[in-house]
């Protein structure tokens, strides 16, 4: 009885709870998960790149103003000093408005393209974050279900061994069994108590991670309905082609290469002239006794023209930036090729996990039937005396081991299907609903 105390304490931690299905768990994680909340903010940052891209080529309006106190003292020498010497003071006020419209600015056009591409990258990165959240929720969901199954199997196996132990004691008392049968049953029972405690602990840990992700305290995942495990109907080449065209990672790398190419063009054109249309309006006035020739009581001016600018020498910085941009473009191209290869390998690997997972589930289902048949034969053999209690316990252990492996294979198969859709850039909440 003393050995059961730790298990009883752990069992009190796991009380029956309400159920939450996979789609609801995903929607709860959308609202609760802190990592995804950061991804949402990052997507909002990315949307501003698009606004900045549109703004970079639009007119720019600036307003300037001034308020200055002037105290002027003029002293000269010579025969006209009496006429030229003067003291004056006053306040000078003024403001100006200027409008600048880029006419020929290749640098600004390149910046606009880059900002637009960065906005697209942010949108794709957010889509990838959405898929990653679906996978994390599914992983946590299946982990809790598997832990529940493992605990249920442990309890059922312990109950069966407890019956075996009671039967062995009865047979021993009646003189129809050896003391070793009782000892073996007792040893198995004690080992299963420890296994059940470990299974209970794993379930509590899985629940804690699930709650951290979804925020749904006291709600366990709803068991999934039985699903048909089948290999992929599409050939692996079809998945490879789709992933090559739609993979979010590849599309992001493509945009990074486009940005790098644009930057090469920008630095190549950095030594060319730029042309802006500029319109200005100035209004200035003074209060005081300042010289009206230098500071009129009020003056207004307006100008409209074209402003030309061309860098002549920058100490070699322009050439250095061009070489740097070319190197960065080459780096981006190599990273794109590496990502293409990684995605292709991921498709093959995940596709194999799905197809082999379906076959593994079918094999384990058949193995469970065989193990149960073998156990029934072993129990009958023990009754007629050609099988020992240890043989039956071993066969019983095999049945529960196959059950655990089968549950794990089913969840692994479902998760592999979701991962395959994610690699191809197609994973969505509809895939969860389909489960």
Q: What CATH number did the domain enclosing 242 receive?
A: 1.20.1600.10
Q: Between vectors from CA 136 to CA 134 and to CA 137, what angle results, nearest 5°?
A: 65
Check whether residue 170 and residue 187 sit in a common domain: yes
Which of 284, 309, 334 finishes a domain? 309
Check whether residue 111 and residue 91 sit in a common domain: no
Most confident of 15-24, 155-164, 286-295, 381-390: 155-164
Spatial CA neighbour of 194 closest among 3, 30, 402: 3
For residue 150, give its domain range.
2-57+105-273+310-434
Check whether residue 296 and residue 415 sit in a common domain: no
pTM: 0.80
Check whether residue 195 and residue 298 sit in a common domain: no
Average pLDDT of span 392-404? 87
pLDDT given for residue 86 in this prediction: 66
* Count of the separate structural domains present in the chain: 2
Check whether residue 67 and residue 130 sit in a common domain: no
Per the structure block, which two tokens stand in for 337? 């090729």
Q: In the predicted model, is pLDDT for residue 142 greater than 80?
A: yes
pLDDT given for residue 79 in this prediction: 62
Compute the chain's Rg from CA coordinates: 39
Backbone angles phi, psi at 38, to 5 degrees: -65, -35
Check whether residue 263 and residue 404 sit in a common domain: yes
CB 336 within 8 A of CB 254: yes
pLDDT given for residue 231 in this prediction: 61
State the DSSP H helix or E strand holding residue 210, giving kind and residue range, or none if neither: helix 179-214
SS3 assignment, position 404: helix
Confidence band for 5, pLDDT divided at 50, 70 and 90: very low
pLDDT given for residue 12 in this prediction: 43
Tens digit of pLDDT for each residue in 236-269? 899 999 999 999 999 999 999 999 998 898 888 7
The CATH number of residue 278's host domain is 2.20.200
pLDDT given for residue 81 in this prediction: 56
Q: Which residue has the higher pLDDT, 157 or 7?
A: 157
Give how far the C-alpha of residue 331 lies from the chain's centroid of Cα atoms, to the nearest Å: 24
Residue owning tokens 């156990």: 375
Q: Which residue has the higher pLDDT, 188 or 223?
A: 223
pLDDT given for residue 234 in this prediction: 75
pLDDT given for residue 74 in this prediction: 66
DSSP characters for 10-74?
A: HHTT----EEE-HHHHHHHHHHH-HHHHHHHHHHHHHHHHHHHHHHTTS-EEEEEEEEEEEEEEE
Alpha-carbon gap, residue 165 to 185, rounded angstroms: 5
Confidence band for 80, pLDDT divided at 50, 70 and 90: low
> Among residues of the chain, what percentage have pLDDT more than 70?
90
pLDDT given for residue 330 in this prediction: 95
pLDDT given for residue 211 in this prediction: 94
Per the structure block, which two tokens stand in for 384? 């007629």
336 Cβ neighbours under 8 A, 6+ residues apart: 250, 253, 254, 256, 257
pLDDT given for residue 8 in this prediction: 40
Asked if residue 80 belongs to a domain, the reply is: no
Neighbours of 318 (CB within 10 A): 15
Alpha-carbon gap, residue 141 to 147, rounded angstroms: 10
Asked if residue 154 belongs to a domain, the reply is: yes
Check whether residue 278 and residue 402 sit in a common domain: no
C-alpha torsion 47→53→58→61, nearest 10: 70
Q: In the predicted model, is pLDDT for residue 7 greater than 50?
A: no
C-alpha torsion 103→107→110→115, nearest 10: -100
Q: In the predicted model, is pLDDT for residue 183 greater than 50?
A: yes
Tens digit of pLDDT for each residue in 305-346? 898 888 777 677 878 888 999 999 999 999 999 999 999 999
Check whether residue 145 and residue 209 sit in a common domain: yes
66 HSE (CA, 13 A, CB side): 13
Check whether residue 323 and residue 303 sit in a common domain: no
Tens digit of pLDDT for each residue in 101-137? 988 888 888 888 888 999 999 999 999 999 999 999 9
Check whether residue 261 and residue 298 sit in a common domain: no
pLDDT given for residue 349 in this prediction: 94
Alpha-carbon gap, residue 435 to 134, rounded angstroms: 13
Asked if residue 219 belongs to a domain, the reply is: yes
343 HSE (CA, 13 A, CB side): 27
pLDDT given for residue 6 in this prediction: 42
Alpha-carbon gap, residue 423 to 419, rounded angstroms: 6
> Among residues of the chain, what percentage have pLDDT more than 90?
47
Asked if residue 343 belongs to a domain, the reply is: yes
Residue owning tokens 């994610």: 422
Average pLDDT of span 37-45? 92
Q: In the predicted model, is pLDDT for residue 14 greater than 80?
A: no
Asked if residue 77 belongs to a domain, the reply is: no
Q: How far is CA 249 from CA 241, 261, 331, 425, in A?
A: 14, 19, 16, 9
Q: What is the 3-state secondary structure (H, E, C) of 67-125?
A: EEEEEEEECCCCCCHHHHCEEEEEEEEEEEEEEEEEEECHHHHHHHHHHHHHHHHHHHH
Q: Which residue has the higher pLDDT, 185 or 339?
A: 339
Confidence band for 9, pLDDT divided at 50, 70 and 90: very low
Among 56-60, 334-338, 366-370, the range scoring the smallest mean pLDDT is 56-60
Asked if residue 81 belongs to a domain, the reply is: no
CB 287 within 8 A of CB 107: no
Alpha-carbon gap, residue 299 to 69, rounded angstroms: 17
pLDDT given for residue 295 in this prediction: 73
Alpha-carbon gap, residue 270 to 314, rounded angstroms: 11
pLDDT given for residue 314 in this prediction: 67
Tens digit of pLDDT for each residue in 193-236? 888 999 999 999 999 999 999 998 888 899 887 766 666 667 88
B/e letters for 167-185, b = 16+ CB within 10 Å, e = fewer, are bbeebbeeeebeeebbebb
Asked if residue 78 belongs to a domain, the reply is: no
For all residues of the chain together, what is the average pLDDT?
85
Confidence band for 10, pLDDT divided at 50, 70 and 90: very low
Check whether residue 217 and residue 146 sit in a common domain: yes
Tens digit of pLDDT for each residue in 379-394? 888 778 788 777 887 8
CB 134 within 8 A of CB 212: no
């Amino acid at each position: 009885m003393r050995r059961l105390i730790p298990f009883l304490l752990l069992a009190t931690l796991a009380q029956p709870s309400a159920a939450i299905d996979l789609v609801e768990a995903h929607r709860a994680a959308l609202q609760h998960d802190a990592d995804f909340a950061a991804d949402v903010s990052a997507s909002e940052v990315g949307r501003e790149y698009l606004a900045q891209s549109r703004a970079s080529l639009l007119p720019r309006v600036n307003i300037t103003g001034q308020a200055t106190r002037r105290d002027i003292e003029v002293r000269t020498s010579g025969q006209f000093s009496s006429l030229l010497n003067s003291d004056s003071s006053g306040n000078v006020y003024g403001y100006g408005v200027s409008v600048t419209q880029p006419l020929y600015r290749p640098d600004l056009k390149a910046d606009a393209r880059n900002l637009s591409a960065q906005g697209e990258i942010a949108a794709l990165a957010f889509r990838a974050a959405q898929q990653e959240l679906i996978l994390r929720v599914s992983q946590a969901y299946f982990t809790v279900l598997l832990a529940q199954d493992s605990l249920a199997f442990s309890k059922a196996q312990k109950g069966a061994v407890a019956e075996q132990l009671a039967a062995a004691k009865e047979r021993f008392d009646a003189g129809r069994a050896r003391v070793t049968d009782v000892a073996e049953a007792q040893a198995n029972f004690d080992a299963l108590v420890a296994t059940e405690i470990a299974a209970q602990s794993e379930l509590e840990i899985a629940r804690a991670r699930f709650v951290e992700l979804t925020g749904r305290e006291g709600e366990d995942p709803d068991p999934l309905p039985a699903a048909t495990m089948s290999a992929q109907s599409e050939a692996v080449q079809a998945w490879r082609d789709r992933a090559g065209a739609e993979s979010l990672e590849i599309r992001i790398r493509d945009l990074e290469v486009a940005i790098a190419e644009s930057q090469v063009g920008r630095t190549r054109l950095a030594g060319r002239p730029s042309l802006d249309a500029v319109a200005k309006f100035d209004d200035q006035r003074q209060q005081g006794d300042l010289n009206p020739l230098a500071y009129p009581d009020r003056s207004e001016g307006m100008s409209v023209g074209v402003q030309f600018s061309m860098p002549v020498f920058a100490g070699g910085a322009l050439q250095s930036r061009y070489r740097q941009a070319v190197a960065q473009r080459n780096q981006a191209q190599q990273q794109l090729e590496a990502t293409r290869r990684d995605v292709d390998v991921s498709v093959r690997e995940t596709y194999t996990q799905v197809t082999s997972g379906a076959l593994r589930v079918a094999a384990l289902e058949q193995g469970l039937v065989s193990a149960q048949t073998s156990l029934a034969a072993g129990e009958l053999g023990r009754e007629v005396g050609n099988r020992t209690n240890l043989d039956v316990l071993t066969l019983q252990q095999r049945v529960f081991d196959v059950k655990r492996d089968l549950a794990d294979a089913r969840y692994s198969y479902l998760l592999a299907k979701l991962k395959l859709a994610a690699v191809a850039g197609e994973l969505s909440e509809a895939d969860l609903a389909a489960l």
